[in-house]
Structure 1
Amino acid sequence: MTELSLIRNFSIVAHIDHGKSTLADRLIQLTGTVAERDMKTQMLDSMDIERERGITIKANTVRINYPAKDGHTYVLNLIDTPGHVDFAYEVSRSMRAVEGSLLVVDATQGVEAQTLANVYQAIDADHEIVPVLNKIDLPAAEPDRVKAQIEDVIGIDASNAVSISAKTGIGIPDVLEAIVTRLPAPKGDRDAPLKAMLVDSWYDSYLGVVVMIRVMDGIVRRGDQVKMMQTGATYRLDKLAVLTPAMKDIAELGPGEIGVFTASIKQVRDTRVGDTITTEKKGADKALPGFKPAQPVVFCGLFPVDANDFEPLRDAIEKLALNDASFSYEMETSAALGFGFRCGFLGLLHLEVIRDRLEREYDLDLITTAPSVVFKLHMRDGEVMDLHNPADMPDPSIIDHITEPRIKATIMVPDEYLGDVLKLCQDRRGIQLDLTYAGSRAMAVYDLPLAEVVFDFY
C-alpha cells in the first residue's frame, strides 16, 4: 500500500503532434518501467489505426516508479488522454481522476486550438498545471515567444516552464522532478466506505471487460463484491491489477491509486464511464459528481456493398460496440441500399475511426451515407419528435417549430486566411460571437449549426 504523499497522478495535455505520446515513451524509458528490448514508439497507443495516424483514441494509463532526488521513491500514474475534440468526454473524466497536468506545447508552433480546449478542461478540474516546451532542439524553436503566448492566451504563469526535447531526451529528468515537486499529492480517506471512479473500460477477448478505476476513498480488494451506483449492477472482483503497461496483479488498491479489475462483465455497456463504484455492503451513500452518459451528435447509415454481408456486419458492429460505449446503432432499411444500420458517433473523427476499424478488422466493404444530425420537431399538440431522415418528415401543417443542434466553435487562424474563414462561417448560417487576436493569429468564436459543420465544412 503506497503512502498518499508519495503518489502523483497526472495527465498530459497537448495539441495533435506536439509530442505527447513521445514524452510518455521517454518517461517510461528513463524510469526503466519497460525493459529496453520491449520498448517501441507510441508505447501507449495500442491500436494500429492510432499508430498510423499518430493520434490517441483511447485513454491509456501506466504506473511508473520514480526514485526522486529527495531519496523517496514516488509512484507516478500517467493517464495518456486523446487530444481530439470528439473524445472530449474521455478527456474530462480522465482529468477528474488525476490532480495535475503537464501542458505540452511545441516550441516551434505555439498554442493551438486543441491545446486550449483541453487546458480549459484541466482548469475546470482544478488541476495544478506545469507548462512544458517541447522540440527545443529544432532551429525554428522560439521558447520565449511561446512562453509569452501561453501567458497571454491561456493565462497561466509560464516563467518556470520546463524546456525539453522528447525526441532526443533533453530535459526529461527535469520533467520527472517537476511532477514530484510541483504537482499535489492525492487526498483520500482509507477508513471511509469505498468510492472509486470508473475512468475507462475495454473488452479483452480472454478476460472479458477490463475496467480502469481511480480509488478516491476506502480500499478495494480482490474478491470484493462491488456495486456500480449508476446502473445498480453488482459484481465480484476476479482480478485486480496495475498497468506497467503490462498487467501486474495486486492484492488491494488504496486511496489515490489507479488500477484495473475484471469481474466476468460481458459488455462494456454495463460499465458507464464516470460511474462510481462502491462495496455492496456498507457502501457509500452518494455517488461522485459529474457523471453524464455519452451523447452521440453525428449520425450516418452503414450498409454492406454486398447484401449477403449483412450478418457479418451485424456481428462486427456488436463486437465493436463491446469496445466502445459511446457508439450507438440501430437497424435501418433503405429502398436503395437494402438492410443496414443507422449509427451515432461523437463526431466526424469518431465516425472515420469506427468505419476504418469495421472495414479492416472484419474485412467488410461498406457504403457510408452522408453524415447528418438529429432535428427535433415540436408539434402543435405539444409532442416532441426526433427526425433522423428527411423522408420521415410529417405534414408541415401539424408542426409548430423545428429545432436543430448548434455548436460553439472556436477557430484559430493566421491573419491572411481570416477573411475566407469568416466568409465560410457566414455562408454556413454562422453567428459571430467574438473575434480577438493572440499574437499573429486571430481567434474567432462562432455559433454554428452542427448540420452545416458535419458536411464538407473542413
Structure 2
Amino acid sequence: MNHIRNFCIIAHIDHGKSTLADRLIQACNGVSDREFKDQLLDSMDIERERGITIKSNTVSLDYTAKDGKKYLLNLIDTPGHVDFSHEVRRSLMACEGALIIVDASQGVEAQTVANLYLALEYDLDLLPVINKIDLPAADIERAQEAIDAELGLDPFEAIPCSAKTGLHVEDVLEGVVNKLPPPQGDPKAPLKALVFDAYFDKYRGVILQIRVMEGTLKTKDAIHFMHGGRDYKVDELGINQLKLVPKDKLSAGEVGYVVAGVKSVQDIEVGDTITLQEHPADAPIPGYQKARQVVFSSIYPMSTDQYPDLVKALDKLAINDAALTYEKDSSAALGFGFRCGFLGLLHLDVVQERLQREFDLGLVISAPSVKYKLKLRDGKEIEVDNPSNWPDPTVIDEIIEPYIRASILTPEEYVGPVMELCREHRSESQTMNYLSAGRLEVVSEMPLGEVLFDFYDKLKMITRGYGSFDHEPLEYRKTDIVKVEILVNKEPVDTLAYLVHREKARQRALHYCERLAKEIPRHQFKIPIQGVIGGNVIARSTINALRKDVTAKCYGGDISRKKKLLEKQKKGKAKMKQFGSVTIPQAAFVAVLKQSDD
C-alpha cells in the first residue's frame, strides 16, 4: 500500500488539467506514441472540440521513481466547469491527494479557489503546480504570490512545468510520490468501496469505477449497494490502464473497475458504497451527495414525426448520464416533447448538442427556468419549474426562489462594472476581498434564475475575459415572480410563456414580441403580438397586413368608387382576422431564446 498513490488534478477551466494528464501518461509509458492523441482521457468528440472535460476519467500508471522504487499511480482527471462540481466532489472522495494547477499567465481563478475548499473539506493533501511556464506572458513569481495569498499553500513547494512541451513533468511525478500520502485501510476489514463514476458499455452493461477503502473484493463475490439497496454478482474486476486489465481481486487502497451485470446507470447511484452481502459494513462511506438538477427546460423535436427518435435518443443518453432527468411534456404549438432537468447551462448545452449530433435530431428548446417553491392560501406547498403548471395568482400566498453565493475574481480596474452587473441581476449583498496586488474577489448573493441567461457572457465582456465566476447554492428566499404569457393574434402560445421577476417582466416581454414580429411572416390581416401578465398587456408589437391594391382598376371617375372598394376590403380583412389562424414557424421559437443577433 505504501507504493500506491491515489490523486486527482483540479483547477479552473482551461488551465491545462487534461494536457498535464496526457504528459503524465506519456512519462509513465502508459501509451505508445502511435496510439497517443491529445486529451487522451476525454472520450467524447464534444470534449475534444471544445477543449473541456465533461466526465471524470481514471487511469492507473506504473512509475519507477528516481530512487528506483516502483509505484502504482491512480490518476483521476476531473472537469473544471462549475456545472460538474459533483463529479469533482466524488473524485476527491476517492483520493488522498490532489495536484492543484495554477496558470502561470492568469494566476488563481474562481474555480481554483472553489475546488481548493472542496479538497480541504475531504482533508486532502495538496501539491500546487504552476503550468504554462513556456508562455511569453508567464509570470512564475506572481503565480507563487497568488498561491500564497489566495490559496494559503506553500509557494516554494509549487512545481513549475509546461504540460504542453513536457518541461519538468518528471518533477511533478516525483512530487506526487514524495509529497502526497499513500492510502490507508485494512484489507481484512468488511468491504467498503466507493463508486465514484460509471459509464455504459453496449456489450457488457455498466462499468463501475470504484475505490476500495476497506476490505478486499474478488470476482464472483455477491455485492450490495448500501444507498440503492440493490444486489449484484461481480463478473469481472481489474484496473484501468487505458485498456481494462482484469485482476483476481482489488484490495484496500486500490482503484479499479467492476462489471456486475448492471443494465443502466440509472439502476445505481454514483457515490454509493459497495459492500459484501455475506459480511456487510456497518455504515456507508460518509460524504455522499446526490447530483441536484437546478435548470429545467423543455425539449421538442423540430418536426412531430421525429418524436419516437427523441424518445430513443433520451433513453440512450440517460443510460450514460445519470444526472439527466426527463418527463413527458406537450405543447399546443410544438406537439409532444420532454421536460428535462440539468445540472446547469453547460450541461443543457452539452445534452442538446449530443442529441443533435449523435442522433441527428432537429430540436426546439424552451427558455430554461429554475424550481420555485409556492405556498398557497389553502396551506399547501408546491414546487413549480414549468410555466404551464403555474397556478392562478389569486391562490398564491408566497413565492420563494433559490439563491446562490457567487464568487467573482476580477482585476481591480473592472470592479466597478462587475458590481454594477451584480446589481442589475438583483444582487442582495456584495462584499469585496483583496486577494493580492491588483486582484479582487467580489462575493455576491443573488437569485440563481438571474445567472441563467447572459450573466457569464456579460461578465467576460466587461472584464475583457479576465473575470472568472463560480457559485454555490444557498437557501430559498421570498420573491415576486410572475408568469408572462405571449399572445399571437390574441391566442396564448404556451411554449413561449416564462417565469420572471416582476421588475424584468416588461423588458423580456418586449424582446419576445420584437423577435416574433421579425420572424412570423405577414398574413392577409394585421397580427398583434402581446406580452401579458394576467389581464394586463405589458408589451406589444404589430405585424402589418399584406395589402392588395384594390383601387388599381379605378382610372378616374368619382372618388366614392374608390372609397366603396376600400370599405369592402376593410370588412373582408376584419372577417379574416376573426377566423384566420397564424402559423408560427419553428425558427421563431429558436430566435426568441437568443439574447442578441448573431
TM-score by length of 2: 0.75
Alignment of 1:116-131 (within 5 A): 116-131=113-128
Matched, 1:258 2:255: yes
Q: CA deviation at 1:23?
A: 0.8
Q: CA deviation at 1:201?
A: 0.6
Q: CA deviation at 1:118?
A: 1.1
Q: CA deviation at 1:289?
A: 0.8
Match of 2:293 in 1: 296
Alignment of 1:135-146 (within 5 A): 135-146=132-143
Match of 2:442 in 1: 444
Q: Which amino acid aligns with 1:12?
A: I
Alpha-carbon deviations, 1:195-218, whole Å to 9, x = none? Answer: 000100111111111100000000
Match of 1:456 in 2: 454
Q: Distance in 1 between matches of 2:193 and 2:325?
A: 26
Q: Which amino acid aligns with 1:207?
A: R
Deviates more, 1:413-422 or 1:332-341: 413-422
Alpha-carbon deviations, 1:251-283, whole Å to 9, x = none? Answer: 100001000111111110122111000011111
Match of 1:383 in 2: 380
2:14·2:80 contact (CA, 8 Å) conserved in 1? Answer: no
Q: Distance in 1 between matches of 2:392 and 2:280?
A: 53
* Greater RCO, CA 8 A, separation 6+: 1
Q: CA deviation at 1:120?
A: 1.3
Q: CA deviation at 1:444?
A: 0.7
1:432·1:444 contact (CA, 8 Å) conserved in 2? Answer: no
SS at match of 1:288: coil
Q: Distance in 1 between matches of 2:148 and 2:361?
A: 49
Q: Which amino acid aligns with 1:373?
A: V
2:223·2:274 contact (CA, 8 Å) conserved in 1? Answer: yes
Alignment of 1:327-338 (within 5 A): 327-338=324-335
Matched, 1:65 2:62: yes
Alignment of 1:350-361 (within 5 A): 350-361=347-358
Structure 1 segments of 4+ aligned residues over 4 angstroms from their partners: none
Q: Which runs of 5+ in 1 are unaligned?
A: none
Q: Distance in 2 between matches of 1:325 and 1:87?
A: 12
Match of 2:104 in 1: 107
Matched, 1:154 2:154: no
Matched, 1:192 2:189: yes
Q: CA deviation at 1:227?
A: 0.5
Alignment of 1:4-15 (within 5 A): 4-15=1-12
Alignment equivalent of 2:371, drawn from 370, 374, 393: 374
Q: Which amino acid aligns with 1:155?
A: G
Q: Distance in 1 between matches of 2:104 and 2:63?
A: 27
Q: CA deviation at 1:144?
A: 0.8
1:239·1:263 contact (CA, 8 Å) conserved in 2? Answer: yes
Q: Distance in 2 between matches of 1:456 and 1:391?
A: 24
Matched, 1:26 2:9: no
2:7·2:75 contact (CA, 8 Å) conserved in 1? Answer: yes
Q: CA deviation at 1:443?
A: 1.2
Identity of aligned residues (%): 52
SS at match of 1:65: strand
Q: Distance in 2 between matches of 1:253 and 1:228?
A: 17
Q: Which amino acid aligns with 2:74?
A: N
SS at match of 2:293: coil
Q: CA deviation at 1:418?
A: 2.0
Q: Which amino acid aligns with 1:71?
A: G
Match of 2:50 in 1: 53
Q: CA deviation at 1:436?
A: 1.7
SS at match of 1:391: helix
Alpha-carbon deviations, 1:320-378, whole Å to 9, x = none? Answer: 00000111000001121110000000000000000000000000000011111111111
Matched, 1:74 2:79: no
Q: Distance in 2 between matches of 1:351 and 1:249?
A: 36
Match of 1:183 in 2: 180
Match of 1:44 in 2: 41
Alignment equivalent of 1:88, drawn from 71, 85, 91: 85
Q: Distance in 1 between matches of 2:411 and 2:173?
A: 35
Q: Distance in 2 between matches of 1:175 and 1:389?
A: 49
Q: CA deviation at 1:442?
A: 2.1
1:201·1:271 contact (CA, 8 Å) conserved in 2? Answer: no
SS at match of 2:434: strand
Q: CA deviation at 1:74?
A: 0.5
Q: CA deviation at 1:431?
A: 1.5
Deviates more, 1:326-335 or 1:373-382: 373-382
1:375·1:387 contact (CA, 8 Å) conserved in 2? Answer: yes
Q: Distance in 2 between matches of 1:267 and 1:353?
A: 20
Q: CA deviation at 1:396?
A: 2.9
Match of 1:422 in 2: 419
Q: CA deviation at 1:456?
A: 2.2
Q: CA deviation at 1:302?
A: 0.4
Deviates more, 1:413-422 or 1:389-398: 389-398
* RMSD value, Cα: 1.1
SS at match of 2:48: helix
1:431·1:446 contact (CA, 8 Å) conserved in 2? Answer: yes
Q: Distance in 2 between matches of 1:434 and 1:343?
A: 35
Q: Distance in 2 between matches of 1:353 and 1:62?
A: 24
Alignment equivalent of 1:364, drawn from 357, 361, 364: 361
Alignment of 1:204-215 (within 5 A): 204-215=201-212
Q: Distance in 2 between matches of 1:337 and 1:300?
A: 14
Deviates more, 1:218-227 or 1:431-440: 431-440
Q: CA deviation at 1:40?
A: 1.0
Q: Distance in 2 between matches of 1:258 and 1:334?
A: 47
Q: CA deviation at 1:190?
A: 0.8
Match of 1:221 in 2: 218
Q: Distance in 2 between matches of 1:442 and 1:228?
A: 45
SS at match of 1:344: strand
1:372·1:455 contact (CA, 8 Å) conserved in 2? Answer: no
SS at match of 1:300: strand
Q: Distance in 2 between matches of 1:230 and 1:164?
A: 42
Q: CA deviation at 1:416?
A: 3.0
Q: CA deviation at 1:168?
A: 1.4
Match of 2:519 in 1: none
Deviates more, 1:424-433 or 1:218-227: 424-433
Alpha-carbon deviations, 1:118-152, whole Å to 9, x = none? Answer: 11111111111111111112222111111011111
Alignment equivalent of 1:279, drawn from 276, 295, 298: 276
Q: Distance in 1 between matches of 2:237 and 2:451?
A: 44
Alpha-carbon deviations, 1:377-418, whole Å to 9, x = none? Answer: 112333211112333322333322111111111011223322
Q: Distance in 2 between matches of 1:394 and 1:18?
A: 46
1:307·1:338 contact (CA, 8 Å) conserved in 2? Answer: yes
1:197·1:275 contact (CA, 8 Å) conserved in 2? Answer: yes
